[in-house]
Homo-oligomer: A and B are copies of this chain.
Amino acid sequence: MIIKIDMKSETALYEQLYNNVVWGIATGRLKQGEKMPTVRQLGIDLGINLHTVNKAYSLLKQKGYLSAHRNKGAVVNKKEFFIADKDFREDIKSSLKPLVCECYARGMSTDEMCSILKEIAENIKVEAEDKH
C-alpha cells in the first residue's frame, strides 16, 4: 500500500501515519497477515525519521492493529485482535461527543449528522472497491 504524508498538515506525522494504516485496513488495502514496511524503510520512503514511524507502529500495536517481532518486521493482525469491544466504544464516544456538541449547537438534527457519517462510510466503501 502506498502511504503518503503531508508535511504541511497540522496533524502530527506519527498520527497521519497511524490514520493511514487504519484507513488501509478499513479499505482492505492492508489484509491480515500482510507485512508492513520496516520502520527504517518506511522512514526512508517518506523522508522522515525511523522513530516517528516507530511511534506510529507502537500505537498501532497498542490498539491491536499490528504485531511486531524482531527481525520479522510488523504484520497486520487478524481481525480478532481489533474488534469493536466495550473499551473501544467508550473511546469512540469520548472522541465523538465534542463533535456532536458542535453539530447540535449549530442546529443540526441527528438525522443530518447520521447522513454525514453515512456519506463518509460510503466514501470508504468506494475507496475499498477502487483498490484494483
Contact = CB atoms under 8 A, between A and B. Distances in A.
A119 B96 CA distance: 11
Copies of the polypeptide in the assembly:
2
B107 A83 contact: yes
**Interface band, chain A:** 35 or more
Contacts of A19: 98, 101
B101 A99 contact: no
B124 A113 contact: no
Contacts of A116: 89, 92-93, 96
A103 interface: yes
- Main secondary structure on A side of the interface with B: helix
Interface stretch (A20-28, A38-46, A48-56, A67-75): A20-28
Contacts of A97: 120
Contacts of A99: 92, 95-96
A76 B87 CA distance: 36
A119 B113 CA distance: 12
19 contacts: A19-B101, A22-B101, A23-B98, A26-B102, A65-B105, A82-B106, A84-B107, A92-B99, A92-B103, A95-B99, A96-B120, A97-B120, A100-B121, A100-B124, A110-B117, A110-B118, A110-B121, A113-B121, A114-B114
